[in-house]
Amino acid sequence: MADSSLSLVRRQPGPTVTGPEPVDAVVPAGQPHLFGDPHGGAGRAIGVRRAPARPIRLLLVEDSHDDAWLVQRQLERGGFAPEILRVQDAHGLRGALQGGRWDLAIVDYSLPELSGLDAVRIVRQHCTSLPCLLVSGTVGEHLAVEAMRLGANDYLMKGNLTRLVPAVERELRESESRAERRRAERALAASEERTRLIIEHALDAVVSFTAQGQITEWNLRAEEIFGRSRVEVIGRPFHEVCLAPAERVPFVDALAEGFPPACAFGVKRRVETLGEHRDGRDLSLELSLVPVPSSAGLSYSAFLRDLSERRESEAKRASLEAQLRQSQKMEAIGKLAGGVAHDFNNLLTVIQGQSALLEDNLLEPGEVTPAARAIGEAADKAAELTRQLLAFSRRQVVQLTPTDVNELVADLGKLLRRLIGADIELHSVLAPGRVHINADAGMIEQVLMNLAVNARDAMPTGGSLVVSTAVVHARPPRTATAAPGPGQYARLTVRDSGTGIAAEHLPHIFEPFYTTKDKARSTGLGLATVFGIVEQHRGWVEVRTKVGEGTQFDVYIPQCLAGTVVPTPALAAPPPLPRGHECILVVEDELAVREMVRDVLVRQGYRVHEAASGREALDIWARHRKDIELVLTDIVMPDGIMGTDLVSRLIEDRPDLPVIFSSGYSQESDESRLSLEAGVNFLQKPYRPATLIRLIRERLTAASQRSPR
């Protein structure tokens, strides 16, 4: 069957190999199979063994069985173990290429039904990467060139097959190299595709541009943010497409300099900038630039995040927080009203009742003075309650004087004993010598009493209360923003043996209106007032507590140097109220207060001009500026001209003009450069007529001494 289109080439066993001894096996065309003995034994040659032979699958296009045997023998001598399928026509070649995987193809140039060039062409049509060698008895140069053009890797002469093994080895190496390169290219292409998909669908806009600024890449998120398609922007300058006009010139300058570290558009860091949408609206963007060096030159990738949604979310959150705070404020106002209304109503009942008795002449002559005294005492208590509220809100002007904390604790001892009750033991442990601070003594007393009341409520069945003082070197915590820094501080400690404070309540104890007590007995202002007073004195409060074992409050206030403390002289009997003759401008929008002040001053000999607003005061000043020698003004005015604004205008006209401010609370303006100092140029409402008269006299006397008229 020498004319079959497909045949196996087998090695026959024997003592020696002396010549071709082919055995043909007919295989249906187009159905090639693995080579070797169909009964399971591999073909082998008996002789010198070469170890180990390299297997190779060879597709041989050859019509001569002898020539095929020579090719097999040459490969075996070269260290290969070839498995060969021989085909003779185009139909068999195509079937073999479709049905098997080959390491090499060797094509004879002269075939009865197929030319070698056509065979090379068929091989290349089916497999562009399969190594293909052309073998012929006589190949001219022009045929060799044509074969190489069609895809042959090399050509060999049948008369000189010594080149066969080196050519096969070379082609196999190059084929493996090409296969490895293709695998690397496929892996790179897959990686690039994954990267492309990641960038294309990233949540941030990713825009690549050249060192000259021309856009080369534009992902889907960029289309969404800027409203421009990829086709529309490729090749256009980055700054013209993405940035607002105000940002373009700085960006171009930075790009020209390679984005130096000091520029606004830093490389490898995030900066906020302003972009522009296609419709012209501004975009708040976060920009991060990354340099991308390559063989084609330096380029940049810009990652842009739209902050507009974040800004909108932040604004919504801020609005909700503001609404919550407003709701909390309204709730706090309700708690405050309920907490203090009882006390104020009691005081007003006393004032109204006694006033009605006096007005209706229902009192005996000897009862008039006690009734007036009762009215005054009720007013004093109302003023003290207002004072406590102002201390809590930290709007009260502090009247600082040198104060000895030891003396203050000792003086309050009896009051504290009555305040805490007989079932609580009170102990005082005072530091040796004097513990001086610059303080408002009344406020510090309020702190001590509030802490004592808080301790009393924590010991319903009795216990122990220890009040101690000390001078320590302390470092303020970071939350104590008003404290002057590390140094000497006076420490006032109040320690009880009560129930302690639970962990969930501890962070809230200084919050206004926060209380764990019966709301009918407490407004939640006690510890908030303590916190406000101590902060006004540039100090801070520390708390140590353990449930079931008690609580300790440590109040730290800056120590006053002993040399700066002036001993307080013993109080003498109040002298008669001084009289005067000067002209005073009284600016007060509350009619009852203005009339009271006018009557008091007129009775003491002063001449008075009255004004109900800042504008009215300016008109009076324009007419009587030469006569007016002192201005007494409220701070809060109804017509837009505050008391501080009024005084600023007046002292521009007369810098040495004596001024006294008065208010129910101090609302100091940052714009006015006027400082309020209690007892000098500020009078806290409510006040007694005697206090007003003495302060006016002091200011007038001081002014006359500075510039006698």
Q: How far is CA 3 from CA 22, 65, 73, 85, in A?
A: 13, 10, 22, 15
Cα(233)–Cα(210) distance, rounded to whole angstroms?
13
Does the global pTM surpass 0.75? Answer: no
Pairing of β 132-136 and β 154-157: parallel
Identify the segments of the chain with pLDDT beneath 50. Answer: 1-48, 339, 394, 519-520, 563-571, 666-673, 679, 709
Tokens 């050859």, residue?
62
Q: Give the tens place of pLDDT for each residue, 61-116.
A: 988 888 889 899 989 988 899 999 999 888 889 999 988 889 999 998 888 888 88
Rg (CA), the chain: 52
Longest dimension (CA), the chain: 162
Task: Give the pLDDT confidence score for residue 557 in this predicted structure.
Answer: 93
The CA-based angle 656-661-665, given to 5 degrees, is: 155
Cα(624)–Cα(605) distance, rounded to whole angstroms?
18
Q: How many CB atoms lie within 10 A of CB 28?
A: 11
Task: Give the pLDDT confidence score for residue 485 in this predicted structure.
Answer: 85
Task: Give the pLDDT confidence score for residue 468 in this predicted structure.
Answer: 93
Tokens 């043909």, residue?
24
User: What letter would DSSP give residue 498?
Assistant: S
Task: Give the pLDDT confidence score for residue 148 in this predicted structure.
Answer: 85
Whether a cis peptide bond, with omega within 30° of 0, leads into 686 is: yes
Task: Give the pLDDT confidence score for residue 610 in this predicted structure.
Answer: 95
Cα(79)–Cα(69) distance, rounded to whole angstroms?
16
Cα(54)–Cα(189) distance, rounded to whole angstroms?
33
Residue-wise DSSP of 275-301: EE-TTS-EEEEEEEEEEE--TT--EEE
Residue type, 246: A
Tokens 């990467």, residue?
129
Task: Give the pLDDT confidence score for residue 229 in this predicted structure.
Answer: 92
Task: Give the pLDDT confidence score for residue 235 in this predicted structure.
Answer: 92
Structure token digits, residue 275: 């972009």
